[in-house]
Structure 1
Amino acid sequence: MAPTALDHLLEVEGVTVRFGGLAALSDVGLTIAPGTVAGLIGPNGAGKTTLFNVLSGVVRPQSGSITLKGERLRDHRPHQLAGLGVSRTFQGLNLFGHMSVLDNVIVGADRLARGGLPEMLTGLGRYQRDERELTARAMAALEEFGVADTAHALPGTLPYGVQKRVALARALVSEPELLLLDEPASGLSGDDTAELAAKIRGFGRRMGVMLVEHHMDLVMDVCDHIVVLNFGQVICSGPPAVVQADPAVAEAYLGTPAQEENGD
């Protein structure tokens, strides 16, 4: 049976990105179903961040298409992601250092899209109600990640692991349908990574998740489906067990033993 819009939350087809003469992505395709976690892995320079930037509207592909919830995205921009039901984290924390933790999370709820300019300037009417509702939602997100007691602190005064939780709370407060996680385990301790794995499995029951990560144990633990990139091309796609057993994946990460022995 042909797939329907309900089968695929996100569908990427034939995406190619060139920077000058370099093909960062070449004819890349993948799908993410609602309520699943998809991993995107590959060696450094494989094109993972470029694909994330394409999905986020930061980079324009030379060819290919992106379909979200059955609608093709055309010239979307990063500031439109929340309205499309998409949220993302970054390799860096990208928290606003001059704003409190609470205000950082409120920003993730895209609050200015809800009220009109007169209400925003006067602080009355719907805008005032929205402010209360968004503050409550932001506090609930911080509670979910166990960091509500830091709401009025500046991010830079907090340990790195706590800042990571704040960044995740900001990404989740808008209740996205698709969550893009860019190396969320980088810099975390073993205990924090184990807690993150449990969180990601929980996210996957509420929304579609795409995870870029170098911690292979985490990827194999939480992902339903994995796509492997190498030199901008998909070299393997399937469940974790299939990816683990694929010789092309081992070669991409480790090189070919026979070649090393022969000096080629």
Structure 2
Amino acid sequence: MAPTASSPLMEAEGVTVRFGGLAALSDVGLSIAPQSVTGLIGPNGAGKTTLFNVLTGVVRPQRGTVTFKGRPLRGHRPHRLASLGISRTFQGLNLFGLMTVLDNVIVGADPLGRSRLPGMLTGLGGYERDERELADRAMALLEEFGIADVAHALPATLPYGLQKRVALARALAAEPELLLLDEPASGLSGADLADLAAVIRRCSRTMGVVLVEHHMDLVMDVCDHIVVLNFGRVICSGPPAAVQADPAVAEAYLGTPVQEDAGD
């Protein structure tokens, strides 16, 4: 069932994760709309990474469900995400160091090599044509990200900001319906942050985006909806202005209750 404009692209309901006696997540819910940016924020240790890992199949919850386009995701694995229409980035870049920038992005377009494997083994069929099409798609993304001139360089030879662009281009090469971004702003300069914000907005025109991020200026700038976690529970959920004004959010980040004005 394809999502409509009013139905969620992905949903998590009642998600509970325990590590030993520690409840990392307790009855957490999350709804991601198509063509929107959903921010996932909270103080250190709030459970953001655990929830992100549940969504990407790295962690299985003890209770709760995750659905994508109305269908339950049971036992989904990270390496199968692309076949579902989901792409993700990592806190660490996870680029292939011995492959060129172009080849890194080509892998993103065909991560399991399924479309190429029969031709690679037999030399028959449209293998060469498929290779050209993948390379053309990858190069078009590099041009869109302004890094086509380094297509044949190794990632480690590039500045960190450019490596981040390569990682994003690789995630988008599979043309996903849902893009999961794990702290994409970490280590970026001010100019790079502005570029990243523009990319996220552009992505949200055609796909749902989940943004796990500590950089609050970026979150408030690009997100349509924000979910705030603290101690493994959702303490606030809503548009950026409502989240900014919520006393529980300020208390979670500052560690002290917010005093309301007594008025005149």
Correspondence for 2:262: none
Deviation, structure 1 residue 53: 1.0
- Separation in structure 2 between the aligned mates of residue 258 and residue 98 of structure 1, nearest angstrom: 51
- The residue correspondences of 1:125-140 to structure 2 (distance < 5 A) are 125-140=125-140
Correspondence for 2:221: 221
Correspondence for 1:113: 114
- Separation in structure 2 between the aligned mates of residue 209 and residue 188 of structure 1, nearest angstrom: 19
Correspondence for 1:239: 239
Aligned AA for 1:51?
Answer: L
> Sequence identity of aligned pairs in percent?
79
Correspondence for 2:143: 143
Deviation, structure 1 residue 130: 1.7
Q: Deviations over 1:50-104 (max 9, x none)?
A: 1111111111111110110111111111111001000000111111111111111
Change (3 A) 1:208 1:258: closer
- Separation in structure 2 between the aligned mates of residue 122 and residue 51 of structure 1, nearest angstrom: 43
CA RMSD of aligned residues (A): 1.5
Correspondence for 1:78: 78
Aligned AA for 1:39?
Answer: G
- Separation in structure 2 between the aligned mates of residue 161 and residue 258 of structure 1, nearest angstrom: 37
- Separation in structure 2 between the aligned mates of residue 209 and residue 191 of structure 1, nearest angstrom: 21
Gaps of 5+ in 2: 260-264
Name whichever of 118-127 and 174-183 sits farther off: 118-127
Correspondence for 1:41: 41
Correspondence for 1:22: 22
- Separation in structure 2 between the aligned mates of residue 173 and residue 5 of structure 1, nearest angstrom: 22
- Separation in structure 1 between the aligned mates of residue 60 and residue 31 of structure 2, nearest angstrom: 19
Deviation, structure 1 residue 126: 2.8
Correspondence for 2:56: 56
Deviation, structure 1 residue 258: 7.5
SS of the counterpart of 1:26? strand
Change (3 A) 1:140 1:123: farther
- Separation in structure 1 between the aligned mates of residue 197 and residue 234 of structure 2, nearest angstrom: 25
Name whichever of 80-89 and 119-128 sits farther off: 119-128
Aligned AA for 1:220?
Answer: M
Kindly tell me the number of residue pairs found equivalent between the two proteins: 255
TM-score (norm 2): 0.93
Change (3 A) 1:258 1:29: closer
Correspondence for 1:173: 173
SS of the counterpart of 1:125? coil
